[in-house]
Chains A and B, each alone.
Chain A
Amino acid sequence: MEKLYTWLDERLGLKTIYDVVLDRKVPKVNWFYTLGSASLFLFVIQAVTGIFLTVYYVPSPDHAYDSIQFIMNGVAFGWLIRGIHHWGATLMVLVVFFHMLRTFYFASYKYPRELTWLTGVLLLFLTLGMGFTGYLLPWNQRAYWATTVGTEIPGTVPIIGPWITSFLRGGPDLSAVTLARFFSLHIWWLPAGIVLLISVHMYLIIRLGISSLPKKDD
């Protein structure tokens, strides 16, 4: 065991990782500072349950609804996994939003953490994007009509509006093409962006340390 550890450490630098990432001193902070890790936790939960859902989900108008009925009724624990993913989405939006508010109220976005804030805001919008694209996937009445209206909204912008709508939908109507591109966005593009930005966000946090609680004289 000892030998294996030495062998791995020599190659991976486990000790260095432990020292740099885990065994570091940080200022004393309060419970609001757990919102960031809670956001990360929810992202991991969403990723895991989402990957499970893709095992049976079919992104086509013919089968999307039926395949979800199958997940809910035909597969063991399918209802639980979908339930966690469904409520996880809601909680993630809330927690990420509160994390943003915490950062704002405790002035953590100020020097030297401007870039951490920037990536964080991007992450907030990507999370909302996940909510918006994921909403369509069950292909039920609620999903269909909400997305019809949702993609209509940018259409009101003068000149380029109608084009944005048809870009989002992949055509003039909400169709199989829309479902396919929302699915692609939901499981590839947006998560890829989120993972990338989380990495940058975390790197910055480890490099700059957790911001301290503002004192009276700060």
Chain B
Amino acid sequence: MAKSHELHRSDFVKSVVAVLGTIIGGFIAIPGIGYLISPSLKFEASEAWIPLGPLENYPDGTPTLFNFTRTKINGWEKTVNSYGVYVVNHGGNQVTVFSNMCTHLSCRVNWQEDGQIYHCPCHDGKFSPTGEVTGGPPPKPLNVYETKIEDGVLSIHFVEG
């Protein structure tokens, strides 16, 4: 009788140790996981109309590169990200603005006047003047921005996130 009582006590003590240990572990582990992954779950949507200057600055038909920057807070630092767009003025207030980011792995594409293509230097991706993929690995055509023209000034709708 005494023996089995002794055994019960020992089992009880062991399970209390296990339960309390698990509680402590859980109280550290669960916030810990949240702590580690929370920056990856947070994205700040960003949206703005970016002025690209008077439309007349852009020559008809030729894609022209325009660079602009956006400031973002990443953790404890302000990051100034640089973006490039190719503006194609079709004349008569018709304009197409392509992102210069390759749809494959986000390298920056260059307009090649002699080949009449946007060429990506990383994996030899090629896009036609209308942004369609004509060669290489890119899965999608170049991204096109929504545009508006107010008082002759061209703006694009920049959306991120």
Contact = CB atoms under 8 A, between A and B. Distances in A.
Interface residues of A, number: 19
B76 A76 contact: no
B36 interface: yes
B31 A77 contact: yes
Majority SS at the chain A contact face: helix
A56 B37 CA distance: 12
A56 B75 contact: yes
A55 interface: yes
A82 to B, nearest CB: 10
B35 A81 contact: yes
Given A75-B38, A76-B38, A66 B32 contact: no
Contact of A66 (B31, B39, B76): B76
A55 B76 contact: no
A81 B32 contact: yes
Nearest to A45: B28
Contacts of B75: 56, 67, 70, 74
Interface in A52-108: 52, 55-56, 58, 63, 66-67, 69-70, 74-78, 80-81
A76 B35 contact: yes
A52 B76 contact: no
B41 to A, nearest CB: 8
B34 interface: yes
Given A56-B75, A67-B75, A70-B76, A48 B28 contact: yes
Given A75-B35, A80-B31, 13 more contacts: A45-B28, A48-B28, A56-B75, A63-B77, A66-B76, A67-B75, A69-B76, A70-B75, A74-B39, A74-B75, A76-B34, A76-B35, A81-B35
Closest 5 CB pairs of A and B: A77-B31, A66-B76, A76-B38, A76-B34, A70-B76
